[in-house]
Every structure is written in C-alpha cells, then in structure tokens.
Structure 1
Amino acid sequence: MKALQIKTARLLSFISKMAKIGAKSNGGCNRQALTEEDRLGRELFLTWCHAIGGVARLDSMGNLFVRFEGTDSTKLPVLMGSHLDTQPSGGNFDGVYGVLAALEVMYTLHDQKKKLVHPVEIVVWSNEEGSRFTPAMSGSGVFAGKLKQSDIYKSLDDQGVSYHDALISSGQNGTELCQAFPFFASLELHIEQGPILEAEQKSIGIVTGVQGMNWYQITLSGETTHAGPTPMSMRKDPVQALMAILPNIYDKVAEYGEQARVTIGKLTTIPSSTNTVPEHVIFSLDLRHPVQKTLDNMSKEVLELCNQVPSIFNSDVELLWESPAIEFDLRCIDVIHMATELLNMNAMPIVSGAGHDSVYLSTLGPTGMIFVPCKDGISHNEKEHVEPEHLVSGANVLLHSLILLTEEKE
C-alpha cells in the first residue's frame, strides 16, 4: 500500500502566494522581521491555518504559535515550523518552506480526517534571520532562556527603530510571556543552504547537529586626516592595519581544516568620505565549526591576531553573539531515518553549517531537522531555488516523521 502523500499543488501554491508578499524584481523576497510585509505574511498564513481549525496565539517576542488539537489534550505538543522573515534580498524558501510544509502536513492529515494523539503546534519564530535586529534567532533564543528579552527589545535596526517599537507597530506583540513550555518533540524542515546534498545527489539530509558559531565586531582605530596633504608614511590609516590582519585571519582558519568557516560580512569606515583617511574601520567576524572545543580554540587564536596591530593603532574586540555546537536528539534522528526508508528516499546524514531556531529548541527538548537540497547551494540570495520534487520529498518526510514520532510508545 502506498504511503500517505502531501498534495504537491497545494504546497507549491502556499509557497508561491507567500512569495508575493515583499516580492523583489529579481524573483526574491524582502520580508524582514516585524515589518508590514512580515505582518501581511503572517496574516496570510493564519487565514490558511484557521481554515482547518488552527488556533493562534502570540507571545511577547512576536513568536507565533498555531495549535491543532490531538485526540488527547493532556499530551505534550509536537512543534513544527521555522520562520517567515527573510533577508533584505532573500529567497522564497529559507525558513518559509519549513512553515508552509508544516501547514501542508496538517492539511493532509485534515483531508484524511486523521488526528494524532498529541497536539501539534506550528511555530513561526520571530527575527530568525537577524538581518534587521541583532542577534539572529532572537525569538527562539528568548523562548529558550538563552537571550534576555529586555536586551533584544533595545536592539536597533539601521533606521534607529527598536525591536520593541517594531513589535508594537507591526501588531506582533502578544499578551503571552515569551518563555519555554514543555513539548514532546520539535521538528524543523529547511533547505540546506549549502551545496553538499546536491553534490552527493541526495534528496534528503538527516541533520545530526549544527555548527557552533561566534560573532564579533572588531574596531581598528587610527587618526582621521585629509587625503591630499598628508604623506602616506605619516598617516595612521586603520585600513592599512586591516589589510595586514585579513590574510592572517584567513590563513589561521584554514589551519583548522575543511569544516572551519570564517566570514567578514560587514565592513565600515568612519568617517566614510572619499577624500578623508578614516579614524575607524569596523568589521564583523563570523567564525564557525561543528566541534565546540575546536571553535573555542580557533576563536581565541583569531582574536589574538585581531589585537596584533602596530602600536600606532588601537584594536577593540566586541563579542556580539555565541551559538554553541549542538547534536540533535537520537530518537528524532531515528524517526526521520525511518520516514526516509518508508518513502524510499535517497538520504544522508549531514551537519548544518547555518544556525537555526532548532539550536535553541534542542536545549529544551527532543529536536530534529530535515534538509532538502537547494540549487548550487545558494541561499540568502534572490537566486535561491529548490526543485519542486525536493520540496515535496521534504514535506512527505516531515509528514511521516511526525506520524512515526507520535505513534511511538512513550
């Protein structure tokens, strides 16, 4: 007998309609956290949820929970979901796919009049991307008690708008306090955001854990002066210090092997003027590794390099965020593996190179993740693309992982 399948056309329709909110000219999306576009996206999602009996609530960080009752209301809920916010020039699948595939799973169960024993709650975590407010994964971080709501509320976007003010203006400030509650398990379906599954010709990644990551802001300070009259030999130009440091940083990270990552995503000069030697150079530093001890050692050595500047310069290192390396729950990994076998899927174990809300959820209860490949490994980009057959495969694995998980004896 053929295993239960989600409806392909409906899932693709959900994704297509959501992509129209915040749509950009090159096919991507700009629906950043706590904006009007974010509100409209959530509103559309809720109309679909309400049509099959979902009951919604918001917490004080803007996390959205939609509950679908099971046959036993005393049982702990299973959480599914991800996020609907995007990068400023993001794609249509990062996070969004996990939310809408979870919705399609509930529609499929509703079609079949199949109720699970456990309640299910689809979660839309707030400010996962961290593109508007720092740090990333704010909603799930406060939920897990790893970040302080009062600190996040003060976070400012590039226009000086605080998280708290944006929460109010977007109508996402819920009456329920953002704090952890017990759950039976949590499952998150996501695009890989990397090239490994595609290169290995696998349709499903069974995620065993997530790389640890540390974010820093480095400020190099010299002396501002006019670009014309001051000879090069008499300048205290922090850009020169930056140019001396960068090769050493990349060389040091390379010593830690193929699994090590370094990214300098932001670079600013102050004052930022064509004909003025800047006084400050400020750059971001993102360091990642799947082994926490290795990440700690690598970070220590890289930061030492950042402080090794000539005496005419000053160097300041600020820690912005730490997300430890984690391993997912073996039971969740097992049911995902069982689902891929049931569906005869071509799967492989994989470690996530990107951070996800499931990192924080894993500190609270059994958590698992499912990956599908994205074309050329491209994400955080309007060219982000996932083949429809992979979207369907991932949703079917999520469906059967949920069923297998809730049918297990506790």
Structure 2
Amino acid sequence: MSRAASNLQIDSARLWDTIHETAKFGRTPKGGVRRLTLSAEDKQVRDWFRKACEGAGLEVKVDALGSMFALRKGRDMSKPPVGLGSHLDTQPTGGKYDGILGTLAALEVVRTLNDAGIETEAPLCIVNWTNEEGSRFAPAMMASAAYVGDFTTDDILSRKDAEGVTVGQALDGIGYRGTTPVGAQKLGSFVELHIEQGPILEAEHKTIGVVDSGQGVLWYDGKITGFESHAGSTPMPLRRDALATLAEIVLAVETIAKKHGPKAVGTMGEAVIANPSRNVIPGEIAFTADLRSADDAIMNALDRDLRAAVAEIAGKRKVEVTLELIWRKPPTHFDPKLVDAVQNAAEMLGYSHRRITSGAGHDACNLNTRIPTAMVFVPCKDGVSHNELEDATQSDCAAGANVLLHTVLALTGVAS
C-alpha cells in the first residue's frame, strides 16, 4: 500500500453531518428516529442515499426485496466486489446510529477514496439491506437471509405486517421493488461497522470492538388459551387465567436464561390480550419470546428447557399454550482472515481494541454463511440501543469508519 493510502483518514465532520442529516427522516420529539422499513420515512432516506451514492460516482441497483447496491468500480472488474454497509431502517423508538452508522460510514469511505484519487484493485459495493430490524416484518434481517438463500424471494414478499400489508405491497408503495434478482449482485466479502449495542467497550475504555462471533437467535410465537370469566364471581381455584399463565412463562424465560448464563439471554418482548377488559379474566394472549446464545449446545438447551417449562405451566393452570419456533439463526463465527484484517487496521491506527461477541443479530451474520464476513464495533453511551436515547461520540464513529476504510483497503488492494 502506498504511503498516501496508509495515512488516509476519513472526514470526521462530513460523516457526522450525514448522520445528523439523515436523522431528520423520521425524527422523534425525544431526538430519536422512527423509520420503519418500507415506510414513507424509509423512502425519504432511501432517496437521499441513492442521490448521495450517485453523487459519489456509484452505480446504484435495487433488488427485488428493495436492498440497495451501490457499486464503485475497481481496476479489475473480474474480481467480486468487497461489500460494506448495513441498514437504514430503525425500531419504532430507534436512534441515529444503529445500522445507520455502518451505511453512512461506507459512503464516507468511498468519498474519502474519491477525494484522494485512489483506485482499488477490486471493486467496492455499498449495501443498504432491507428490513434488518424486523420491527415491521418478521423475521429480522430478511433481505440478507434471502440473499444467501435462507428464504425465497416470494416467501419474503408475502410476509405481512400487523395491518396485513405484505412486503411486496409495501415495496410497491414506496417504489423500491427493484428489478435486480435477489443474489444477482455478487460479493466477495462483506465488512459491517456498527455500534456495539452493549456496555462492554465503554466500560473497558476500548475504542474498537473486533467482532469474532455473534449469538444465535431463537424466535418464538406463542398463544395462551384460557377462559374468559367474571373477575368478581370466579373463585381463584377455578380460574383459567391466560395473563397469570403468561406471568409464569415470563419468569420461566428469565430463570432459564440465567441458568445457562453468562452465555445466554432471554426476553419476552410482546404480549397482546385479546379483548381486554378491567373486570374480565383474560382468556387469550399472544406473545413472543427471544432467546440467544453464541453456543449451539446452549441454544438446544434453551429450547428444550423452555418447552418443558411451558408444558408444565400450562398443565398446572389448565390452559392451552402453543409455542412455535418461527426462526432459528445459528451462532456466527466470522472469517478469521477478515477478523485479523479488522484487528490489524485497529492496531495500525493506534486504537485501543478487544475481541468481542455480538449480542445482537446483524446482516453480516446472515452473509457469513456464504461469504467471508467481519464486523467492527464502536462504543455507544451506556450500552443503550433500540431507544431514542441511543448515542455515540463523533470521535468513536470516525475511528470505526477509519478502521472500516483500512480493512477495505487491505481486502481490495490499491491499484498501482
């Protein structure tokens, strides 16, 4: 690598400005972002991103699930591009950085290379993956999963949100159902920058997390069917209370996750009482469960223990409980050579760093099943994410972008 390339730094102020510029699309009163996938706000940020990429000289294509691919040519176009990016959709009460940092940092990497007049040997491809968050359509990370063949395009297009709108209808509604077949844009590797979404880097005063693995995920949809009856006239021993049953299941999930800790976590994130009323004992409740571990054996144990606990609780309370595993994502172990490239970049730039496991799922985890993949983490304040209070410093965001830049340069090579 030339001296000019080895000394290259991204424009910190420019990156910071783009983060805050895009935060206006779906801005919330508390300073966060509500930009559900394929919403009007998502269209706004997509249009902005397309224009910014084309302004940087990139050719933008959109696939059949709305994922955006922005290609920067390399000297040798026979080589598959090095992919970089993340996503631009958010949680209902999301922040400015989750996913967004990785996508905008990828844009900043390209802008920096353009400013320096550097041509890479292999091409680069920035990707904005559709529906990473999974807050409107399930499962999360569906577009990258379809890209590697875990789902068919038609399956994903048919998925519905809570209002019954399909992915296909939502894509058409904002004009982002592309003509490029899913998987047609080949990638030779992929590197994703992200905030940690946890407290470890901040607590240890580390600037860069070199991500070497990611937790596997178990997602369940459940339904409790008890019996609705009068809250005043039904004796306690005769009740078939769906909500009391749910309370026991919630505590069981917590107990099971702690039992298999520290390498396991468990969450009950949603519960909906059918036809709720103050003076009616709940008779039907739909719920979700989310259990995770980076150890496949522990994932099996979590599933076994949860099913056993649910069966025991249902029998004791004389209710029916159905529990459907709707998604199982195995633990991720990122490509060792790419992980080393991230670490080498951090060391070359003089940033404090540590190896780390990702507690959250990411598009890079899906892609790793088919192509070499790695991730770069930077700290977020108090480890808070999926919250309007999500925050990160300009210097840490810039550091992550610089590590991304030099990892990409190591992977693509600089044309002579």
Same fold judged by TM-score > 0.5? yes
1:269, 1:278 within 8 Å by CA — same for their partners in 2?
Answer: yes
Aligned residues: 409
Match of 1:377 among 383, 390, 409: 383
* Aligned partner letter, 1:35: S
Match of 1:200 among 176, 200, 204: 204
Aligned match of 1:143: 147
Cα deviation for residue 247 of structure 1 reads 2.7
Aligned match of 1:407: 413
Identity of aligned residues (%): 40
Structure 1 residues 94-115: Cα deviation after superposition (integer angstroms, max 9, x where no partner): 0000000000000000000001
TM-score, structure 2 normalization: 0.95
Aligned match of 2:325: 319
Alignment of 1:74-85 (within 5 A): 74-85=78-89
Matched, 1:295 2:299: yes
Aligned match of 1:6: 10
1:241, 1:310 within 8 Å by CA — same for their partners in 2?
Answer: no
Aligned match of 1:234: 238
SS in 2 for 1:99: helix
Mapped to 2, the partners of 1:160 and 1:387 lie a distance apart of 39
Match of 2:21 among 7, 17, 41: 17
Structure 1 residues 100-134: Cα deviation after superposition (integer angstroms, max 9, x where no partner): 00000000000000010111110000000000111
Matched, 1:167 2:171: yes
Aligned match of 2:394: 388
1:145, 1:180 within 8 Å by CA — same for their partners in 2?
Answer: no
Cα deviation for residue 404 of structure 1 reads 1.2
* Aligned partner letter, 2:373: T
Match of 1:220 among 218, 224, 230: 224
Cα deviation for residue 46 of structure 1 reads 1.5
2:120, 2:414 within 8 Å by CA — same for their partners in 1?
Answer: no
SS in 2 for 1:383: coil
Mapped to 1, the partners of 2:142 and 2:126 lie a distance apart of 18
- Segments of 5+ residues of structure 2 without an aligned counterpart are none
* Aligned partner letter, 1:270: A
Match of 1:47 among 45, 48, 51: 51
Aligned match of 2:352: 346
Cα deviation for residue 150 of structure 1 reads 2.2
Matched, 1:275 2:294: no
Cα deviation for residue 359 of structure 1 reads 1.0
SS in 1 for 2:269: coil
Cα deviation for residue 408 of structure 1 reads 9.1
Mapped to 1, the partners of 2:340 and 2:93 lie a distance apart of 36
Mapped to 2, the partners of 1:194 and 1:283 lie a distance apart of 25
Mapped to 2, the partners of 1:88 and 1:248 lie a distance apart of 27
Structure 1 residues 290-335: Cα deviation after superposition (integer angstroms, max 9, x where no partner): 1112111221111211121226211111112111101000110111
Match of 1:310 among 296, 302, 315: 315
2:118, 2:414 within 8 Å by CA — same for their partners in 1?
Answer: no
Cα deviation for residue 48 of structure 1 reads 1.3
* Aligned partner letter, 1:149: T
Say which is worse superposed, 258-267 or 156-165, in terms of deviation: 156-165
SS in 2 for 1:147: coil
Structure 1 residues 76-107: Cα deviation after superposition (integer angstroms, max 9, x where no partner): 10000000000011000000000000000000
2:98, 2:194 within 8 Å by CA — same for their partners in 1?
Answer: yes
* Aligned partner letter, 1:186: F
Matched, 1:253 2:253: no
User: C-alpha root-mean-square deviation of aligned residues, in Å?
Assistant: 1.5
Match of 1:60 among 57, 61, 64: 64
SS in 2 for 1:264: strand
Match of 2:404 among 391, 398, 409: 398
Ranges of 4+ aligned residues in structure 1 off by more than 6 Å: none
* Aligned partner letter, 1:151: D
- Segments of 5+ residues of structure 1 without an aligned counterpart are none
SS in 1 for 2:315: coil
For residues 278 and 105 of structure 1, do their structure 2 counterparts lie closer, same or farther at Cα, with a shift above 3 Å needed?
A: same
Match of 2:107 among 93, 103, 107: 103
Mapped to 1, the partners of 2:185 and 2:368 lie a distance apart of 13
Mapped to 1, the partners of 2:256 and 2:16 lie a distance apart of 44
* Aligned partner letter, 1:82: S
2:65, 2:130 within 8 Å by CA — same for their partners in 1?
Answer: yes
Aligned match of 1:131: 135
Cα deviation for residue 249 of structure 1 reads 2.8
Match of 2:369 among 357, 363, 366: 363
Structure 1 residues 177-215: Cα deviation after superposition (integer angstroms, max 9, x where no partner): 112654221100000000011111100000001100100
Aligned match of 2:77: 73
Mapped to 2, the partners of 1:324 and 1:181 lie a distance apart of 25
* Aligned partner letter, 2:116: Q
